[in-house]
Structures are given as C-alpha cells and as structure tokens.
Amino acid sequence: MDDSSTIHEPRPQEPPCAVPPEQPVSARPPPHWSPSSPAPPLASAVTTDIGAAHDRDKGNGNGKGQVITLTGRLAEQSRFPVNPGGAAAQGDRTVFRSLLFDKDGNQVGETGGTCTTTRVDNGGAEACVVTYTLPGGQIAAQGMVFGHLVPGPPPAFDNAITGGTGKYDRARGSIHAETIGTGTRRFTLDIER
C-alpha cells in the first residue's frame, strides 16, 4: 500500500466496518445492525506506519514536528444505543479498540476510545475521545466527526491531538483520518512538540 497517495472511493452500499465472524462477539455488529448502519469513526481498521515517521522543521521557530502514518484493524466494538433496535439518538455511544500495524504488516500498537452521538439530523455528528498506544508512549486525541449516520464508508475527519506520554509528552497537533477500504482507515498524525 502506498501511504503517500490519497485514495478516493465511491460510497459502496456495504457494511462500513465489516468484522470477520471469527472475531469476539463484542466485535460483531449488534443484532439491529444493517449495512446502512454507521461505524464509529475510529473503530474502523487502522494500519500504523511507524517506519514512515519522520522529523521535519515546522518552520515556526517552535522546534520540530513529526508525521506518523497509521493503519489499523478493528479488534473489538460495543454499541450502547439510547433506543435499542430503534432510530439513532443523541447519546448513542460506541466503545472500540483497533490494532495498529506498520506498512510491513507488523503490529505496533492499538487504539482505544469512545464516540458519543451529539446530533442525528444533517447526517449526524459525534464527539470522540481516542488514545493511540505506540512504541514509546501514548497519544491522546479528541474531536467531532460529522456525517457518521450517512450510509456508506465512515467519513474522513480531522481531530486534535491533546497530549501524550513518554516520547509524545506535551504533544499537540492534528490527526487526519480517511477510510481506505471496508473496515480500514489511514490516520495521519501531525505531531508538534
């Protein structure tokens, strides 16, 4: 997979986050799930390319930054709807964990987080809080995802890096996420310290 290219795919009418049947029951879609049900924005698979990380001069006099490209795969997902079996509602929550891999397919970490629906009209919106656990530390991120109730693959989004631990201590910046296939996401972490 070429991590330098942007992939634009039409929105096929297939599950946005397919989970193989051999996954734990908690990772399988709930009984009321249908192909038009949305997947949580970060629960979709992700692959991490720690090897693609590089330092670069931000040109702002504040030091250096780092860009890390991540790709991952959903490992577990649980949904907690306000109206079980009914329509999406404000307060619906999804809890998820994805395994992270480098460009060679080696597992290098994981994500874990929650998303809570804040709006159901105009395609929906949800607030998400996610932690990326990587070699040498963790990165905390949060932000809004818009359009998660629109049928098809989960939408692209940008969230804020709000901090970190270890080698990511005091990290700031942003994360851009895009769906690159059924159940697969590419995250680009633009880290400033």
Hey, CA dihedral for 154, 49, 20, 13, is it positive or negative? positive
Residue 105: pLDDT over 70: yes
Q: Which H or E element spans position 100?
A: strand 93-101
Supply the pLDDT for residue 56: 44
Minimum mean pLDDT among 46-55, 78-87, 92-101: which range? 46-55
Residue 173: pLDDT over 90: yes
State the chain's mean pLDDT as an integer: 74
Q: If DSSP states are collapsed to H, E and C, what string results for 57-98?
A: ECCCCCCEEEEEEEEEEEEEEEEECCCCCCCCCCCCEEEEEE
Mean pLDDT of 101-106: 84
What percentage of residues in the chain have a pLDDT greater than 70? 67
Nearest to 28 by CA among 20, 39, 38: 20
Higher pLDDT, residue 30 or 130: 130
Mean pLDDT of 149-166: 94
Minimum mean pLDDT among 52-66, 100-114, 149-163: which range? 52-66
The amino acid that residue 97 corresponds to is R
Structure tokens at 19: 């989970």
Supply the pLDDT for residue 40: 36
Q: How are beta strands 107-119 and 93-101 bridged, if at all?
A: antiparallel
Confidence at 103, pLDDT banded by 50, 70, 90: confident
Confidence at 24, pLDDT banded by 50, 70, 90: very low
Supply the pLDDT for residue 63: 59
Supply the pLDDT for residue 164: 97
